[in-house]
Amino acid sequence: MSNQHLLTNELTELDKKHFIHPTSSIKEQQENGPAVILKEGHGVYVTDINGKTYIEGMASLWNVNVGYGRKELAQAAKEQMEQLAFSSCFATFSNEPAIRLAAKLAEITPGDLSAVFFTSGGSESNDTAYKLVRHYWKLKGYPNKTKIISRKKAYHGVAIGATSATGIQDFQNMTTALAPEFIHADTFSADSVREIIEREGAENIAAFLAEPIQGAGGVNIPPDGYFQAIRKICDENNILFIADEVITGFGRTGKMFACEHWNVVPDVMLIAKGITSGYIPLGAVVLREKLHRDLIQLSEGTLLHGFTYSGHPTACAVALRNIQIIEEENLVENARLMGEELHKQLKMLQSELPIVGEVRSLGLIGALEIVKNKQTNERFEKKLAPIIIHEARQRGLILRTVTFGDADTIVFSPPLVINKQEIEKMFQILRDSIIAVMNDE
Ligand code: PMP
């Protein structure tokens, strides 16, 4: 047996025995071992321990925006780690990277979003926001404003609050005893939000929470006018609007933040993922200036909410360098331009292949539906998207599916550094994979 085989076998056995994977099938892991053991990455490509190379069509978890192998980010981490790897920001201790990053986020987020609370990821940003908006209303003299309206098919993470806000049933069914006070509106219906407010009473509702484009729920893009209507409803009812830009932030949709497509400024913006392109964990909650001013005026004593890693100097230094790359290399504009290519390719697949139904995308986030019948949208009894992405992986392309409920969907979210040839290559592999699976059925 070659050394390579010995290494693969050793790692596979250790993985099965000791590693409980996030959002993975424990049974499948035991039967087949880890799907891929990755070793390195450059640009839009990743390579496994056997030397097989793949296009990372999902930028891993929608987050490696500047692509793999960026030495600048390694350098930023190294320099900060050597200087001051970590120090806490409790009791108003501070550090330069955290201060500069907070100021930078205030500059690049829309409108008067300007005050930043740091976390280590999207779930922490969500749970922090739920506590902060309730804290805010309590200080303002409205302690009953506690309910949070989120939406069906929403994904907000896996902390107990974030799971409760999530509108994909399967995630909620995984456990019991969720957090109370979350209500799920229909995905793109402003009327559904109005009805909930009427039923529950605006005096009991703290916030409305939404991803500008739902990611894990299937890349669901709102119709024009929806978020403008939501902003108005929130203003009229004294309800805060929380935008979860964890996936859509930092250029993914062809704007720095997706809310900008509809000229809507949320009261609270949640970010993570693309803030460091995944090179190191970091998230943040950004508040509008008015909320910050009210907090300054009304708060007393200590704000008893803070993670050990809130304002982590090394994570913040990497984020600053990452944002600099996004700006210097015009990656937001590249996402917009390459997004047009991606959309063209999706349309081509739809016109060429009988089982590709609806396609949708905005910038470099997109989805296609696998259907048995394009006219009626009828689905195959057995879902084909998972078989197709398995086939694509054999052929050197990593993608992801959404299969909750009756969905049979393939989603796309490549690194923002992708070029036209790489998009064409990605879609050629996908086309071949769909055809191979179609011919087998
Ligand atoms: N919000 C959204 C919109 C997300 O897509 C995710 C992660 N996919 C989260 C929150 C949770 O982020 P994390 O996994 O970093 O906790």
What is the pLDDT, as a whole number, of residue 433? 98
Residue 113 near ligand 1, beta carbon < 6 Å: no
| Sign of the alpha-carbon dihedral angle for 124, 130, 134, 136 | positive
Question: Which of 154, 258, 167 is closest to 214 using CA atoms?
Answer: 154
**How far is the centre of ligand 1, averaged over its atoms, from the C-alpha of 24 (Å)?**
16
Q: Which long-range contacts (CB under 8 A, 24 or more apart) does 393-396 make?
A: 393/35, 393/36, 393/54, 395/429, 395/432, 395/433, 396/52, 396/53, 396/54, 396/55, 396/429
CA of 375: how far to CAs of 348, 360, 367, 372, in Å?
17, 17, 18, 9
Fold assignment, 36-66+330-440: Aspartate Aminotransferase, domain 1 (3.90.1150)
State yes or no: pLDDT of 210 exceeds 80. Answer: yes
At 391-435, the pLDDT tens digits run 999 999 999 999 999 999 999 999 999 999 999 999 999 999 999
At 20-76, the pLDDT tens digits run 999 999 999 999 999 999 999 999 999 999 999 999 999 999 999 999 999 999 999
Name, in order, each residue with C-beta under 8 angstroms of 184's C-beta and a sequence gap of 6 or more: 149, 150, 151, 152, 154, 167
Alpha carbon distance 345, 423 (integer Å): 8
The position carrying tokens 């350098």 is 75
Domain boundaries, given as residue ranges, for the chain: 36-66+330-440, 71-328
Residue 171 near ligand 1, beta carbon < 6 Å: no
The position carrying tokens 């923002």 is 416
Residue 53 phi/psi, 5-degree rounding, is -105, 145
What is the pLDDT, as a whole number, of residue 65? 99
Mean pLDDT of the chain: 98
At 267-309, the pLDDT tens digits run 999 999 999 999 999 999 999 999 999 999 999 999 999 999 9
| Closest residue to atom 12 of ligand 1, CA basis | 122
At 233-270, the pLDDT tens digits run 999 999 999 999 999 999 999 999 999 999 999 999 99
What is the pLDDT, as a whole number, of residue 284? 99
| Closest residue to atom 2 of ligand 1, CA basis | 156
| Closest residue to atom 1 of ligand 1, CA basis | 156
Query: Which residue from 120, 156, 209 has its CB within 8 A of the most atoms of ligand 1, so it is best to mutate?
Result: 156
Q: Are 409 and 330 in contact (CB under 8 A)?
A: no
Alpha carbon distance 352, 366 (integer Å): 18
Alpha carbon distance 326, 15 (integer Å): 35
Strands 397-398 and 356-362: unpaired
**How far is the centre of ligand 1, averaged over its atoms, from the C-alpha of 12 (Å)?**
28
Architecture (CATH level 2) of domain 71-328: 3-Layer(aba) Sandwich (3.40)
Alpha carbon distance 395, 232 (integer Å): 48
Residue 123 near ligand 1, beta carbon < 6 Å: yes
Which of the four pLDDT bands, split at 50, 70 and 90, describes residue 4?
Answer: confident
Residue 210 near ligand 1, beta carbon < 6 Å: no
Residue 86 phi/psi, 5-degree rounding, is -150, 145
How much of the chain, in percent, has pLDDT values that exceed 90?
98
Alpha carbon distance 312, 96 (integer Å): 10
Ligand 1 atom with the smallest distance to the CA of 126 is: 10
Ligand 1 atom with the smallest distance to the CA of 211 is: 3
Q: Are 178 and 150 in contact (CB under 8 A)?
A: no
What is the pLDDT, as a whole number, of residue 439? 87
Query: Which residue from 164, 268, 273 has its CB within 8 A of the most atoms of ligand 1, so it is best to mutate?
Result: 273
Question: If DSSP states are collapsed to H, E and C, what string results for 256-315?
Answer: CCHHHHHCCCCCEEEECHHHCCCCCCCEEEEEEHHHHHHHHHHCCCCCCCCCCCCCCHHH
Ligand 1 atom with the smallest distance to the CA of 248 is: 3
In this structure, of 42-46, 181-185, 341-345, 403-407, the range with the lowest mean pLDDT score is: 403-407
Alpha carbon distance 290, 32 (integer Å): 53
Residue 249 near ligand 1, beta carbon < 6 Å: no
State yes or no: pLDDT of 441 exceeds 90. Answer: no
Can you say how many angstroms the Cα of residue 44 is from the centroid of all Cα atoms in its chain? 18
What is the pLDDT, as a whole number, of residue 440? 85
Residue 156 near ligand 1, beta carbon < 6 Å: yes
Which of the four pLDDT bands, split at 50, 70 and 90, describes residue 126?
Answer: very high
Residue 155 near ligand 1, beta carbon < 6 Å: yes
What is the pLDDT, as a whole number, of residue 2? 87
State yes or no: pLDDT of 143 exceeds 80. Answer: yes
**How far is the centre of ligand 1, averaged over its atoms, from the C-alpha of 436 (Å)?**
33
Alpha carbon distance 306, 419 (integer Å): 40
Please give the helix or strand (H or E) that residue 163 lies within, else none: helix 160-165
Residue 127 near ligand 1, beta carbon < 6 Å: no
Residue 281 phi/psi, 5-degree rounding, is -70, 135
Residue 216 near ligand 1, beta carbon < 6 Å: yes
Which of the four pLDDT bands, split at 50, 70 and 90, describes residue 1?
Answer: confident
Helix (H, G, I), strand (E, B) or coil at 241: strand
| Closest residue to atom 5 of ligand 1, CA basis | 247
| Closest residue to atom 13 of ligand 1, CA basis | 122
Query: Which residue from 58, 64, 148, 155 has its CB within 8 A of the most atoms of ligand 1, so it is best to mutate?
Result: 155
